[in-house]
Amino acid sequence: MPSSTFYGLPEAKQAKIIAAAREAFTRVPASQVTVADVVQLAQIPRGSFYQYFKDKDDLYFYLVSTFKHHFQERFVEILDQLHGDLFAALKVMFHQEILTFVSGPDKQLLQNLFMDLDYRNYQRLSPMHTRPHHHFSEWTEEIKAHTDLSLLKVDDDQFDLLIHILLAFLGHSTARYFVLQKQEAPTTADDFDQQYDLVLSWFANGVLNSKRGNQA
C-alpha cells in the first residue's frame, strides 16, 4: 500500500502517479509492467517511486484494492436492498456489477490485473488470509451483520467458511469470464449469466437427487 509520503503529496500529484500506473497496467499484463514504465509515464525520478511504494507488487496490490473496496461497499449496499438475502445478493452483484465492470472503460486494466492473480496473490487479497479460519475478518463480520442468517442452514460460527467459498466462486467466475472473452468465439454475457446462476443454485440447493440424497 502507498506510504505516508505518498499520501502527503498534493492530490494532483497523487492522481498523476496513479493515472500513470493505471496506464502502464492497461497497456500490458501485470507481469510485464516494470517500475521504469511507471516512472516514465508519471515523469518522476525512480528514487521517488520507492518513497511512495515498496516495489511494483505494492503498486499492483494498491490498484487491485481500489476495485476490491468498490466491490465490498457495493455488495453490502445490495445486501441491504435485498433484506439480507445472501444468495440473491450474489446473483445481483454478478449480473449488475461484475459484468458491467468488466465490460466498461476499465475492462483491459481489470483483465491485466486479475488475470495475473495467482493463488499467492489471491491469499494476500482474501479478507480471511491473515486470521485463523474460524475467525472473522472485519469485512466478513460486516457481511454477516447485513445478512439474514435465518435464511441459511449454517451455524453462526460456520458463516465465515460459507462466505469464503462463495466469494471465491464469485472471483473465479470473474476470472473465467475474462478467459472466455479471449477465445475466438467469446461467451456472451447472457450465456455466462445463466452458467453463473446455475452453479450458484447448486450451492444454494444442492445437486443430489432428493430420492438418492439420503444414500450418500
**Residue 213 confidence class, pLDDT cut points 50, 70, 90:** low
In order, the DSSP letters of 147-207 are S-GGGSSS-GGGHHHHHHHHHHHHHHHHHHHHHHHTSSSPPPHHHHHHHHHHHHHHHHH-S
> Which has the higher per-residue pLDDT, 125 or 158?
158
pLDDT at 118 over 60: no
> Which has the higher per-residue pLDDT, 72 or 16?
16
pLDDT at 41 over 60: yes
- Answer yes or no: pTM beyond 0.75: no
Check: CB of residue 65 under 8 Å from CB of residue 1: yes
What is the signed CA dihedral for 138, 14, 118, 203, rounded to 10 degrees?
Answer: 40
pLDDT at 136 over 60: no
Check: CB of residue 125 under 8 Å from CB of residue 68: yes
Average pLDDT taken over every residue of the chain: 82
User: What average pLDDT score do residues 166-183 get?
Assistant: 78
> Which has the higher per-residue pLDDT, 183 or 51?
51
71-75, 88-92, 112-116: which has the minimum mean pLDDT?
112-116
At residue 35, the pLDDT reads 96
User: What average pLDDT score do residues 62-84 get?
Assistant: 90
Say what percent of the chain tops pLDDT 70: 81
CB atoms within 10 A of CB 83: 12
At residue 11, the pLDDT reads 95
At residue 206, the pLDDT reads 86
